[in-house]
Amino acid sequence: MEKLSFIKAGKSDIPLIYDLAVKIWRKHYPSIITDKQIEYMLDMMYSKESLGQQMDEGHVFWLAYEHDVPLGYLSYNTLGNGDYFLNKFYVDVNRHRKGIGKQLFDYVFSHLTDARTIRLTVNRKNHTAINYYFKNGFIIEEVKDFDIGEGFEMNDFVMLKLIIKPLN
């Protein structure tokens, strides 16, 4: 694998984030949720307006590139006191198992020197992602269902990673 680069995204990157999301979600999620729910969630979470609002609310987006090719993205926000929430974390399905996600995650969170915890939600049927998170130090904190409108629910695990800092 070529050396990756990681770039903090801004509002000018919203169309790129949207295009990556559509490509990834339409390939990854059909075995987990319905096509109708995929389209609803893409519109709800990835429209230009929604992504702009997320950025305005303090969500920080990062993009992973190999040369000039965007491969994935991640977003997080701070909850205060070193606690973070990982909102989005996706890599092109065709590039899974190549270390891209781990490099992106490690790069971003190594720069958050105050990080104590990272939480996220993941669909309970998304076994690939759940196993990835287990392998990378997350545990299941709770089981939660979220009503997201239009008769759709997100049936998720809330996962937690504790960040242990070495003593100096």
pLDDT tens for 1-36 read 568 999 999 999 999 999 999 999 999 999 999 999
Query: Are residues 100 and 64 in contact, defined by beta-carbon separation less than 8 angstroms?
Result: yes
Least confident of 6-20, 84-98, 124-138, 151-165: 84-98
68, part of any domain: yes
pLDDT over 70 percentage in the chain: 95
Q: How many domains does the chain have?
A: 1
At residue 155's C-alpha, the angle toward residues 35 and 13, to 5°, is 60
Classified as helix, coil or strand, 129 is helix
Q: For the whole model, what pTM was predicted?
A: 0.92
pLDDT of res. 127: 95
Burial class (CB in 10 A: 0-12, 13-18, 19+), 27: exposed
98 pLDDT higher than 70 = yes
121, part of any domain: yes
40, part of any domain: yes
152, part of any domain: yes
Structural domain boundaries enclosing 90: 4-162
Copy the structure tokens of residue 111.
């720069």
99 pLDDT higher than 90 = no
pLDDT of res. 101: 86
168, part of any domain: no
95 pLDDT higher than 90 = no
pLDDT of res. 100: 86
167, part of any domain: no
